[in-house]
Structure 1
Amino acid sequence: MFDWNDLRYFLELQRSGRLLTAARRLNTTHATVARHIEAIEKSLGTALFVQHAQGYELTPAGETLLKHAEAMENVALLAQEDITQSSAPLGKIRLGVTEGLGIMFLASRMDGLFQRYPGLEVELVAVPRFVSILNREAEISIHLERPAADLLVTRKLTDYSLALYASQAYLDRSPALRSREDLARHAWIGYVDDLLFSQELMFLNSFCRNPRVVFHSTSVIAQQQAARSGLGIAVLPCYMASGDPTLVPLLPDETIRRSYWISTRRELHKSVRLRVLWDYVVQLCEREQGLLLP
């Protein structure tokens, strides 16, 4: 029988796809990771990975082992949960979220959670990309699109509105903007198209057929800053921009609506600390509908 400890290295290499990345996440060397993989392959008498230019991919035998390894990991996590909650309630939990919602909405509204649960520790991973629950990057993740994985528990978190904003300085030096037809005469701020992590972010053409984009960024916060500095018109979530005194809302009837979805792994949904954070975020969004959907 193989050493169960080898499964940690197997799972991390499968999730990261590269020896160096797996080693960094496990706080060890790539040689150590390789040694554990070799040991488990020797014990099972079959190769578990095939190495390609893009990284390591599972063989059919590796796919079979993955199901059992994840099941064993889940049992260990739930056992740890049961024990730690009886001796030291709550603990650490990681929430992955798009940067706009994470930085400009959630981060400033978490005080009530910690007042209620002082034993809780939250890691907020707020980045302009998809944060994977299945790869253990987070225990709860908030997405722009509904995940399709069967292993996840998912619900709609909230709808939210986006509108057009620009600085007064930009408007003062630009052509008059009285209707949708005038938008084609203006400079725009938008995303880097080939680096979009969600099709839900392709919305400039909803306002203007051929927008003249002068500034691109993968970050919605950078786009807001560019609009504040007078570079052009930006499409921004109302919860970010409506309270910004340096931005002027444009064409109030020209808005679009998008949704956020919240997910976690099915087997973790009964975790106490997970449910505490999950319920708080859901209730927070319910209370703030006036800001999210003005």
Structure 2
Amino acid sequence: MQDIDWSDFQVFLALAQSGRTGDAANLLGVDATTVSRRLKRLETGLAVALFERGRDGHQLTEAGEELLEQVSTMARAAAKIRDGAEAGEGLSGTLRISVSEGFGSWFLARHIPDLADAHPALTIDLVASSGFLNPSRREADIAVMLSRPRSGQLIARKLSDYALSLYATQDYLDRAGTPQRSEDLITGHRLIGYVPELVYAPELVYLDEIHPGLRATLRSSSINAQHRLIARGAGLGVLPRFIGDADPALVPLLPQRSILRSFWIVTHADTNSLARVRAGTEWLIDVVAKHRSVLLSR
């Protein structure tokens, strides 16, 4: 067996977790050619094929599965060493938190400076977008998701429920009338909501819960854009209460038709015990517990 560069195992681990050369390259901060070259060097050194290449990416062979178990153990051991160094010197490195656009911009953004103040040497990435980074592929250290993941080496726990309601401006209601029942929304009102083909989680499908068959005719993939449309009097739509109740221009409607959803906090099993991940997780749980009334409201 040829001598093996131990850093090649990091390439193997990244590819095993992401499944695609380009994704592994992004995780490692190198180009895809480097990933392919170093994987080939590792396979040559071990004299085994670690992946089967297919249309859907790289799938582990039996030898790859066995190596993954060993390399994951090595990664956890390295994480513990880093953890000990962090504990002695204070938290450092980068903590990447992936959250939905609305939760990130309307809730976490106002509280996350407290985490930064507590750990000044820590770089914090708050990725608030229409979609989530994947903890399984190490795209994020912590993800706050709308449902519990069903696969992957992940640790998940329920963070909190949150409530949503239907909102409009008083100006819109003066023009179009105030709906008293969900049936009143069928005609005479413009509904604002998501673009159906671009909904990244089934938990974001709301209108059928207000009344079966309702359809938005003014649509956006962005909850912040939807809020601005509603606030401009363009129509009525469903918003999380931590957004809708924070805007004094909006009037909540049909309280009997409120909607409940949940946030889940998700980390990877291999990095969950890292000091910075543990600190971020504990901070998230604490800040949500202190401000749960904002998420549920009324």
| TM above 0.5 | yes
Task: Trace 1:124-135 onto structure 2 (pairs within 5 A).
Answer: 124-135=126-137
User: How far is 1:267 from its partner?
Assistant: 4.5
Q: Does 1:244 align with 2:258?
A: no
Give TM-score, length-normalised by structure 2.
0.89
Task: Encode CA deviations 1:31-62: one digit per residue, 9 max, x unaligned.
Answer: 22111111111122222222223333323322
Closer, same or farther in 2 for the Cα pair 1:45/1:234, shift >3 Å? same
Unaligned runs of 5+ in 1: none
Q: 1:116 maps to which residue?
A: 118
User: How many residues are paired up?
Assistant: 293
Work out which of the residue numbers 43, 51, 57 in structure 1 matches 2:53. 51
Alignment of 1:213-292 (within 5 A): 213-292=216-295
Secondary structure at the aligned position of 1:212 is classed as coil
Give, in angstroms, the shift of residue 175 of structure 1.
Answer: 4.2
1:156 corresponds to 2:158: yes
> Per the alignment, in what secondary structure is the counterpart of residue 264 of structure 1?
strand
Partner of 1:187: 190
Distance 1:280 1:216, change over 3 A: same
The 3 A distance-change label for structure 1 pair 242 and 32 is same
Percent identity of equivalent pairs: 37
Read off the aligned partner of 2:148 and give its amino acid letter.
R
The letter of the residue matching 2:202 is: Q
Distance 2:36 2:118 in 1: 45
Query: Does the CA-based 8 Å contact 2:52-2:59 persist in structure 1?
Result: yes
User: CA–CA distance in 1 between the matches of 2:198 and 2:68?
Assistant: 30
How far off its partner does 1:198 sit? 2.1
Equivalent residues of 2:194, 2:216 under 8 A apart:
no
CA shift digits 1:223-251 (9 cap, x unpaired): 21222233322111000111113322112
- Structure 2 residue identity aligned to 1:197: Y
Q: Residues 160-175 of structure 1 correspond to what in structure 2 (within 5 A)? A: 160-175=162-177
> Who is 2:64 aligned against?
62
1:89 counterpart residue number: 90
Instruction: Give the superposition deviation at 1:4.
Output: 1.7
CA distance in 2, matches of 1:7, 1:116: 34
Match of 2:12 in 1: 10
How far the C-alpha of 1:176 sits from its partner, in A, is: 4.1
Q: Distance in 2 between matches of 1:96 and 1:200?
A: 17
Q: Distance in 1 between matches of 2:226 and 2:70?
A: 45
Instruction: Tell me whether 96-105 or 188-197 shows the greater mean CA deviation.
Output: 188-197
What one-letter code is carried by the residue in structure 2 that aligns with 1:98? S
TM-score (normalised: structure 1):
0.90
Q: Deviations over 1:51-88 (max 9, x none)?
A: 223333323322332222222222212211212331x2
Give how far 1:163 is off.
0.2
Encode CA deviations 1:133-171: one digit per residue, 9 max, x unaligned.
221111222111122347333221111100001233432
Shift in CA distance, 148/122, structure 1 to aligned 2, threshold 3 Å: same
Q: CA deviation at 1:21?
A: 3.8
1:75 pairs with 2:77: yes
Give the secondary structure class of the aligned counterpart of 2:45: helix
Distance in structure 2 (CA, Å) of the matches to 1:195 and 1:66:
34
Range that drifts further, 202-211 or 39-48: 39-48
2:22, 2:154 → 1: CA distance? Answer: 28
8 A Cα contact 2:116 2:124, kept in partner: no
Stretches of 4+ aligned residues off by more than 4 angstroms: none
